[in-house]
Amino acid sequence: MADRLELLETMIAKGSDDPFVHYARAMELRSRGELELALARFGEVVERFPAYVPTYLMAGQVAEELGDEDAARGRFAAGIEAARAAGDGHAQHELEAALDAL
């Protein structure tokens, strides 16, 4: 079976407009410990698919892991707004808790 990251990269190169595919690429990079690249890819997901709420929590967590509390705070706060706009109370609560824990 093909490497998961390679498969996701291929799907994106072919023009995938599925936000999950882009999100999954960032998650795969995170799981490999490539945190700076993962954070950059999460940023691309936020820019291209701002309504894809799960991205904000993960991006904030990675920023926090990298020691960038300002970036983490920004991602969590933006995610709270995106979750509120989407009517996703569960995600909003998770993002608020993450922001409060900083």
Least Cα distance to 46 among 66, 15, 16, 76 occurs for: 76
Q: In this model, does residue 1 exceed pLDDT 80?
A: no
Q: Give residue-wise pLDDT tens across range 28-76.
A: 999 999 999 999 999 999 999 999 999 999 999 999 999 999 999 999 9
Residue span of the structural domain in which 60 resides: 4-101
Give the separation between CA 42 and CA 59, rounded to whole angstroms: 6
Structurally, the chain folds into a number of domains equal to 1
What mean pLDDT value characterizes the chain?
96
Q: What CATH number does the domain containing 40 carry? A: 1.25.40.10
pLDDT-derived band at 2 (thresholds 50, 70, 90) equals low
Model confidence band, residue 78 (pLDDT cutoffs 50, 70, 90): very high
The predicted pLDDT at position 24 comes to 97
